[in-house]
Every structure is written in C-alpha cells, then in structure tokens.
Amino acid sequence: MEWPISLRSHENSSLSYLLYPDLLSSYRPIELTEPRILLQLKDLFSMKCLDCDNDLLRLPTAQGPDLDVCPSGHGLWLDAGEVHCFVEDYLSLKQAVGSSGGVAVRTQTKCPRCAIQLESETIAGTTIERCNVCQGWWLSRGGLTHLNERYKGAPVTIQINEQELYARAVARTKILQPIADDQLTRGNAAPGNMWFWGLFFGIALAIAGLIFVAGIQKFLHTTRWIRPPDVMLFYLIGGVVGGLGLFWYGWTVQQRKRLIESIPTSPIRSLALGLVEIGGQTEAEGELLTSPFNELPCVFYSYAVEERVRSWKNTRWKTIASGTSERPFFVRDATGRVLVVPAGATLILPDERISKANWLGQLPPLALAGLRRLGIATYGWMGSKTLRCREALIRQDESIYVLGTALAPQGMSHHIANESRLFIGNSRDHAFIISDRSEKDLLSRLTWRMWAGFLGGLVCVAACAALFLNRYMRTLDPS
C-alpha cells in the first residue's frame, strides 16, 4: 500500500532535532469545520507580528525550515515541529512544555496562523507563546538562542545566529519596500495601460467565445437530440471527469518515474548536498521500535485506523487516525552509512498487515493494546465501533530505496565523513520517496500505474463520449 502522507508521529527520538513536522494534537479525523483545516488557507496570507502588527518575513535557514521573522526585531514564529531543527536536546524541552517545567496561561494574544488564543508558558527563563491548534510557537527576540544554549547535547551540534536573521529581515524590508512603492506608483501613474490590456483581453475572450458558439451551432445544425437528458447523462459526465482524472494521475506518475530514472544511485561515501538516490540496508538509530498493532521489531512503521461507517446508500471505511514513527534510521551500503529522517516522505510500502475484528466483532488483543496506547477509542455513543488497523513497517537489515535531499547542519566541516556530516531528509524543492522495493521493482510498478492511468482515462472518456452520441444525438442526413 502507498501512503502519500506527510509523516506525523508520537514516538520519542534521540535525534528529533532533525525532524520537520510534528502535528500531533490528535489522531482523530480532521473535519472541515475545525480550525486546523482553516489554517492551511491562512498560508495564502502573510502573518502579522504579535507586537507591532507588521508582516512577518519568511527567511530560509541553514537548518532546513524557513522561519517567519519580524522585520522590527520583536520576535519570530516557528510552525509545528520547526523547533526540532534549532534545539539539540528537544526531548527535554518537549517534556518541560506543558508539564512541571512550566505553567501555561491563556493570553488574549491571537495566533498569527489560525487566530486562536495563545497560551503563554515560561520554560528555562524563556517565555513561549504557543498555539494548541496549529502547534506553532512565538518566541521573543533572543528566545530561540536561549533555548538552543539551554538544551544542549546531541551527536551533531546545532549553531544558530538569531541576530543575523533579524538583520536579514531588515535588509529584505529595505529591498521590498521600494519595489512595492514603485509598483503602486506605476499602477497609479499609468491607468491607461490597465484599460488597454483589459480591453485587449476582453475582445480576445469575446472572439474566442463567438468561435466556440459558432462551432456548437454548427454541430447542432447537423445533429439533433433524440431523447431528453436523464440520470444516465449525469453518469456519463461523471465518467468523463473521472477519465480526465485518471489521465492526470498517469501524468503525475510519469513525472515521478522520469525523476527516479534521471537520478543515478550514489555510494553513500560519495554523497553531495542536494537531491540524491541511495539504496542499502536499514539500521536502527538506537533501540529497535515496536509496531503498534502487531508488536513487531522494526526501524520504521506507518499505520492507519479505519472505521466502518454506514449511510443510507452504502457502507465504507473511513480513516479516523494515521501516523508514523518519527525516529530516524540509518541506511548503509558497502561504502558507509547515512541517517535518514523520514519526516515528510512519500511512502511506497506495498506489504501491509491488517488487523480486523472477528465474527464476534472483537479485534485481536495486540491491536486493542495498540489502540489504547494511541488513545483511540473503540467505543462510540452507539456502542462498539467496527475498526480495522493497518500497518506497514521497515525491518532491521531490510533493503530499501531512498530518493531525497542530502542536508548538513550549519557549521559542519566538509572534511568530516558523510556518516557524521550529512543526513537525508525532506525539501520543499525536491521529491522525497522511501520504498522497501528496489529501484527496478519501483520503476516497474510506476510504469504499470502510468499506463493504467493513461489508457484507463482515454478509454473512459472515449466510451462515455461514444455512449453520449449513440444515446442522445443523431446525425442528420445532408440530403
């Protein structure tokens, strides 16, 4: 089964400072009415500083994620999981937040991401304002540096320069402000150009519309309807839309296949920064993990919990929880090994284990224990739920394929071996794929799916068009 999801998890990790997402507020289904689905739309708009109401500037960092920084130097915003990349001993910080390490107080300040009231908490002398919905943090100037210095201790040293971030924000403001003023001046000074281009495109659109209408009229003059529209017509329209969707799916699979074919497999000892492709055997970073529903030893797992829901029309399985382990693992070949941080990866793990209820409606004991550990209720207000648990895992010493971005923490010397200097993780600019299949098997699988999408979409559209013409239209005799 393929799991094209951003990785969320609940496990602790001794190298969790390398991870990106950590959206762990719950493992229940996200409804459209919840603020967490609305905050995704907020990314289309700039966030405001909590102190001065200026727009926060998004600046890239050497640690991986971009940070939203106030150009006036009041503070910065970290999205969910981004603090992992800037604090070495994040486990200790995570334990202190929300526990005896601090007392959370709800404030009147609204979250710049989702407009929910923030909670203020003091940890190790640093005030953290955090949102319980989007899991973001607001830190006043100097707060990130203090947390980095307070929570030290990791195999790889994390160095940050917070003052340099604010200096870059000021410089970015000086660059962007004249451009914005110039655009505003041009827009006010040359309204005639806007009218010209608006009129030009309006005329072009009108001509295209007339040509389209003329073509439709010609078609209608040579054909006629032989029956009125009925339910079958809507099915045919849905079939055409579905066929186009299949064709689009085939095109996206083709792009992924071409990317894999274009990147050569690199020996781990020879890895360079950027997009890389490796293959090798897995090795746990520390102790082996245990899969949630079968308690099998592994280096990585992914799971989903589905509930059978009934409606007046049909019965279907609805995913109510999903997640993955967050602990990194090593991949080794004959030349060395490198750490893989699986956060944000597209997983292609076809072999999965499914735990289902028996004829009495009872799940296996191991599955029930896993659900309890994850905090997933097995009973609803109408009684026991019908659940099934799916998990896919990567075992110790299993051969895997990884396509991702080789990254290095800031300040790491290039003379250090790749095993200690680099890790492979997610990047906004490149694909990130982890599969327990070889590259050859993966390409074969993608080729089959690509042609299935192309041919299936083409056949579906052609069949629906033919049925439409045969059922509803008839060509008139020219004589």
Stretch 239-259: mean pLDDT, rounded?
Answer: 92
pLDDT per position as a tens digit, 84-108:
778 877 777 777 776 644 455 666 7
Whose structure tokens read 């390409």? 443
Residue ranges making up the domain that contains 36: 31-172
pLDDT of 39 > 60? The answer is no
* Predicted local confidence at residue 408, as pLDDT: 79
**Of the candidate ranges 138-152, 182-196, 465-479, the one whose mean pLDDT is the lowest:** 182-196
Task: Identify whether 225 is part of a domain.
Answer: no
For residues 273 and 383, membership in a common domain is answered with: yes
Q: How many of the other CB atoms lie within 10 Å of CB of 327?
A: 24
pLDDT of 208 > 60? The answer is yes
For residues 156 and 270, membership in a common domain is answered with: no
**Of the candidate ranges 3-17, 77-91, 348-362, 375-389, the one whose mean pLDDT is the lowest:** 3-17
For residues 148 and 293, membership in a common domain is answered with: no
Task: Identify whether 475 is part of a domain.
Answer: no
Task: Identify whether 41 is part of a domain.
Answer: yes
* Predicted local confidence at residue 100, as pLDDT: 45
Say how far apart CA 138 and CA 134 lie, in whole Å: 12
- The last residue of one of the domains, among 118, 152, 172, is 172
- The last residue of one of the domains, among 129, 145, 172, is 172
> In DSSP terms, which residues pair with 45 in a beta bridge?
none
Say how far apart CA 64 and CA 273 lie, in whole Å: 12
Q: How many of the other CB atoms lie within 10 Å of CB of 444?
A: 13
Q: Residue 226 in contact with residue 474, Cβ under 8 Å? A: yes
Looking at mean pLDDT, say which of 32-41, 184-193, 302-311 comes out highest: 302-311
pLDDT of 248 > 60? The answer is yes
Task: Identify whether 207 is part of a domain.
Answer: no
Specify the number of domains making up the chain.
Answer: 2
For residues 279 and 428, membership in a common domain is answered with: yes
Task: Identify whether 445 is part of a domain.
Answer: no
CATH of the domain at 279: 2.40.50.140
For residues 398 and 274, membership in a common domain is answered with: yes
Task: Identify whether 255 is part of a domain.
Answer: no
pLDDT of 25 > 80? The answer is no
pLDDT per position as a tens digit, 326-352:
889 999 999 889 999 988 888 999 888
pLDDT of 412 > 80? The answer is no
pLDDT of 295 > 50? The answer is yes
Q: pLDDT above 70 covers what percent of the chain?
A: 78
Say how far apart CA 248 and CA 141 lie, in whole Å: 47
Task: Identify whether 24 is part of a domain.
Answer: no
For residues 375 and 276, membership in a common domain is answered with: yes
All residues at 6 or more sequence positions from 23 whose CB lies less than 8 Å from its CB, including other chains? 6, 8, 36, 80, 81, 135
pLDDT bracket for residue 23 (50, 70, 90) = very low
Looking at mean pLDDT, say which of 109-113, 205-209, 217-221 comes out highest: 205-209
Task: Identify whether 178 is part of a domain.
Answer: no
pLDDT bracket for residue 24 (50, 70, 90) = very low
- The last residue of one of the domains, among 140, 172, 204, is 172
Looking at mean pLDDT, say which of 132-141, 149-158, 218-227 comes out highest: 132-141
For residues 165 and 300, membership in a common domain is answered with: no
